[in-house]
């Protein structure tokens, strides 16, 4: 699915902090693993799924967003068109039309050899070691378990993950609004304190049992948020020492200058003049000249920032050059 707009962090946090609606907001669909998979649904359930009111072509099964499925059944008819074949697939619960583009069948020996099982009645009582039937039997045994363990259970957004996402957003907003280029963990404790306090009040109301203190929860949440932001490349530590100082990747002017100089100097060389410098080459040079602790995720985020600022351009295949 192509998104035509990019939601702001503030909007995402607002949606995360509100109760689940009848239809999950589209910015949260990626949190549901069913959305990125090919759910193995019965034809009857596919035909009964309501369409999203937010994005046409997206459907919902028990609050799970679905836009593609894995269907297995008997091919009951086939129609050929100029660009595609139309198959009718019957899985025992209903019949559904399935389109298969001809260019996707270019490597197949015949149009009938698509990924749908052809069921043929057989009266033989003996056991037949047929790999095709083994696939069908395995599929039929797996689907009921998938329904029980996943499809029939409404999506539950984990409260810990929600708190972590909120903490990450609060830290990023703070760094952006205050133009922070580096900080220490204790600089952020005050801004995360209200989030921990509200979480403790909610937990006490739902489950009045003893648990970690507010200070312990604050330290744990801050650590998890910083670890996640570092893995995602938003922040990095130029020098790893007991004095934990984090640099904000896109606010680090020295790193920006270093990366631009590397690309400018090396793009002038014959080896990189045509295609530009590969990201791995840039990463190696940055680690040699600036800091060993710059991760690829941080560099990718920085290169994207420089490209948006028109300081560099991408020549494709993770290669960059200057104007």
Q: How many CA atoms lie within 13 A of 170 on its CB side?
A: 20
202: nearest Cα among 154, 170, 160: 160
C-alpha span between 252 and 225 (Å, rounded): 20
Query: Tell me, what's the pLDDT at 15?
Result: 47
Alpha helices in 67-158 (DSSP H): 131-146
Q: How far from 187 is each of 171, 192, 234, CA to CA, in Å?
A: 10, 10, 17
Query: Tell me, what's the pLDDT at 125?
Result: 42
CB 85 within 8 A of CB 75: no
C-alpha span between 270 and 274 (Å, rounded): 8
CA 57 to chain centroid, in Å, comes to: 19
Provide the token pair at 261.
Answer: 């100089």
* Every domain of the chain and the residues it spans: 159-234, 252-321
Query: With 70 as the cut, is the pLDDT of residue 312 above it?
Result: yes
Query: With 80 as the cut, is the pLDDT of residue 109 above it?
Result: no
Q: What is the DSSP string of 235-256?
A: EE-SS-SSS--EEEGGG-HHHH
Query: Tell me, what's the pLDDT at 122?
Result: 38
| pLDDT greater at residue 134 or residue 280 | 280
| pLDDT greater at residue 280 or residue 15 | 280
C-alpha span between 203 and 173 (Å, rounded): 26
Query: Tell me, what's the pLDDT at 231?
Result: 92
- Class of residue 282 by CB neighbours under 10 A (exposed 0-12, middle 13-18, buried 19+): buried
Query: Tell me, what's the pLDDT at 12?
Result: 44
Average pLDDT rounded to a whole number, residues 228-250 = 91
> CATH classification of 252-321 is 1.20.120.1760, yes or no?
no
Average pLDDT rounded to a whole number, residues 176-187 = 91
C-alpha span between 99 and 80 (Å, rounded): 10
Q: What's the angle, vertex CA 31, arms to CA 29 and CA 34, rounded to 5?
A: 75
Query: With 60 as the cut, is the pLDDT of residue 173 above it?
Result: yes
C-alpha span between 87 and 81 (Å, rounded): 11
Strand, helix or coil for residue 119: coil
Query: With 60 as the cut, is the pLDDT of residue 279 above it?
Result: yes
CB 185 within 8 A of CB 222: yes
Query: With 60 as the cut, is the pLDDT of residue 182 above it?
Result: yes
Query: With 50 as the cut, is the pLDDT of residue 132 above it?
Result: yes
176: nearest Cα among 64, 9, 320: 9
C-alpha span between 234 and 225 (Å, rounded): 11
H or E stretch at 59: strand 59-61
Average pLDDT rounded to a whole number, residues 117-146 = 62
Q: What is the pLDDT of residues 26-76, one digit of tens each?
A: 777 877 888 888 889 999 999 999 999 888 889 999 889 998 888 888 889
C-alpha span between 228 and 234 (Å, rounded): 9
| pLDDT greater at residue 163 or residue 187 | 187
CA 323 to chain centroid, in Å, comes to: 32
Query: With 60 as the cut, is the pLDDT of residue 123 above it?
Result: no
For the chain, what is the mean pLDDT? 79
| pLDDT greater at residue 152 or residue 202 | 152
C-alpha span between 294 and 283 (Å, rounded): 8
Average pLDDT rounded to a whole number, residues 292-304 = 93
Query: With 70 as the cut, is the pLDDT of residue 128 above it?
Result: no
Query: Tell me, what's the pLDDT at 254?
Result: 94
């Amino acid at each position: 699915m192509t998104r035509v707009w990019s939601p702001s962090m503030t909007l995402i946090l607002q949606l995360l902090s509100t109760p689940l609606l009848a239809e999950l907001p589209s910015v949260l669909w990626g949190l549901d693993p069913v959305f990125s998979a090919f759910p193995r649904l019965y034809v009857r359930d596919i035909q009964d799924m309501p369409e999203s009111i937010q994005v046409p072509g997206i459907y919902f099964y028990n609050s799970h967003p679905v836009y593609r499925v894995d269907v297995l059944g008997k091919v009951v008819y086939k129609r050929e068109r100029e660009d595609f074949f139309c198959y009718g697939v019957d899985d025992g619960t209903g019949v559904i039309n399935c389109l298969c583009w001809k260019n996707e069948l270019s490597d197949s020996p015949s149009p009938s050899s698509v990924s749908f099982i052809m069921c043929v009645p057989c009266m033989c009582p003996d056991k037949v070691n047929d790999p095709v039937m083994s696939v069908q039997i395995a599929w039929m045994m797996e689907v009921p378990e998938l329904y029980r363990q996943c499809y029939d259970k409404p999506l539950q957004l984990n409260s810990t993950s929600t708190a972590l996402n909120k903490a990450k957003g609060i830290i990023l907003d703070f760094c952006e609004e205050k133009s922070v280029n580096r900080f220490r963990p204790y600089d952020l404790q005050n801004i995360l304190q209200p989030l921990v306090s509200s979480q403790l009040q909610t937990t006490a109301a739902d489950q009045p049992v003893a648990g970690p203190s507010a200070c312990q929860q604050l330290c744990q949440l801050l650590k998890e948020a910083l670890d996640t932001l570092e893995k995602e490349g938003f922040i990095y530590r130029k020098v790893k020492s007991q004095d934990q100082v984090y640099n904000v990747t896109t606010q680090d002017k020295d790193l920006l200058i270093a990366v631009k100089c590397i690309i400018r100097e090396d793009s002038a060389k014959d080896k990189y003049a045509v295609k530009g410098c590969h990201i791995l080459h840039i990463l190696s040079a940055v680690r040699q000249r600036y800091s060993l602790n710059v991760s690829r995720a941080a560099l990718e985020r920085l290169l994207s920032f420089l490209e948006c600022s028109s300081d560099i351009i991408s020549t494709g295949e993770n290669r960059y050059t200057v104007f």
